[in-house]
Amino acid sequence: MGLVGSGIMGSGIAETAIESGYKVTLLSRTPESAQLIVASIKDSFERKIGKHKKTSTQADEELGRLSVTNEISDLADCDLVIETVVEDLDVKLRMMRSLDAVCKPSAIIATNTSTFPVIELAAATSRPDKVCGIHFFNPAPVMKLVEIVKTLVVSEDTIQAANSFALSCNKEPVIVKDQAGFIVNCLLFPYLNNAVKLLEQGVASMEDIDTAMKGGCGFPMGPFALLDLVGLDTAVSILNSLYDEFKDPNFSPAPLLKRMVTAKLCGRKTRAGFYKY
């Protein structure tokens, strides 16, 4: 399989796929970002070896299945390619066109988009019946869910292949209609946005809001820790897409969230967001 993009999702899906036996070619823009991905997967494997979850022989075998490249033509023979590039529609459309030009005609081209209409990305290719959403969650090696997004024109074979792929990665896939936010983000992001609005209103401190949602709802992380994990820039982009689709004020990004993105306080990826890292 091929993976495009060297962000958190590209790295997490690559880790999951090589652990599941797939041979992965990962396309990234620069050799430096590709090396960062390899280093972060190696770190993760070291931790798993330390916890006796795998042996160093297994880790070496799995890493042997990963190759990184800066040449899109190296994806020509892949049966499945998943794009995980930045959540920007123009960038994703350009990537879909380039993948369509390079990948063999039988290849499935999937997108890990969180909110963009998958049909728009499919329509940019000459094979809309072979394009679907395969939406992993962050951190991909840990989160069980994968949303398989079904457009109006995708073939049943493509959906079944995507579903089988997710199952073979030991995930729990669900099939969902091509509508902004699918299931999880449509429910999760108004909650995260409203947490920021509560903070703006001075109802409680962010630490207390996080404590409340962990202790009161059994969530593994409070909303501010989760926003930092997802990335505030990604969160604003998801909220904007949801707002564009539904025009529901609940989806309109809280002003503080937008200001923090402008200030480059994007969460873990910039080492500072609501918390410092």
Active-site residue numbers? 114, 135, 147, 185
Find the shortest distance in angstroms from Cβ 157 to ligand 3HC: 26
Are the beta carbons of 148 and 160 closer than 8 angstroms? no
**Under the phi-then-psi rule, with left for phi > 0, alpha for psi from -120 to 50, and beta for the rest, what region is 52?**
left
Find the shortest distance in angstroms from Cβ 237 to ligand 3HC: 9
Counting contacts by CB under 6 A, is residue 247 touching ligand 3HC? no
Query: Which of 101, 152, 167, 221 forms a contact with ligand 3HC (CB under 6 A)?
Result: 221
Q: Enumerate residues 59-98 that contact ligand 3HC by CB under 6 A.
A: none
Find the shortest distance in angstroms from Cβ 182 to ligand 3HC: 9
Q: Which is nearer to ligand 3HC, 128 or 181 (CB)?
A: 181
Counting contacts by CB under 6 A, is residue 181 touching ligand 3HC? no
Q: Which amino acid type is present at position 103?
A: C
Beta-carbon count within 10 A of 106 CB: 8
Chain centre to alpha carbon of residue 185: 12
Q: Which is nearer to ligand 3HC, 142 or 153 (CB)?
A: 142
Q: Which is nearer to ligand 3HC, 80 or 238 (CB)?
A: 238
Distance from C-alpha of 134 to C-alpha of 254, rounded to nearest angstrom? 28
Query: Which of 5, 7, 133, 141 forms a contact with ligand 3HC (CB under 6 A)?
Result: 141
Find the shortest distance in angstroms from Cβ 266 to ligand 3HC: 13
Distance from C-alpha of 184 to C-alpha of 120, rounded to nearest angstrom? 20
Query: Which of 234, 241, 261, 266 forms a contact with ligand 3HC (CB under 6 A)?
Result: 234
Helices (H), the chain: 8-19, 31-50, 56-64, 89-102, 118-123, 156-168, 184-200, 206-217, 223-230, 232-246, 255-262
**Under the phi-then-psi rule, with left for phi > 0, alpha for psi from -120 to 50, and beta for the rest, what region is 21?**
left
Candidates 28-36, 92-100, 137-145, 246-254; binding stretch for ligand 3HC (CB under 6 A): 137-145
CA torsion 1-132-86-189 (nearest 10°) is -130
Query: Which of 6, 25, 114, 151 forms a contact with ligand 3HC (CB under 6 A)?
Result: 114
Beta-carbon count within 10 A of 175 CB: 13
Find the shortest distance in angstroms from Cβ 103 to ligand 3HC: 24
Query: Which of 79, 139, 155, 252 forms a contact with ligand 3HC (CB under 6 A)?
Result: 139
50-59: Cβ within 8 A, 24+ apart: none
Residues lying near ligand 3HC in the complex (CB under 6 A) are found at 44, 47, 51, 53, 114, 137-139, 141-143, 185, 188, 220-221, 226, 230, 234
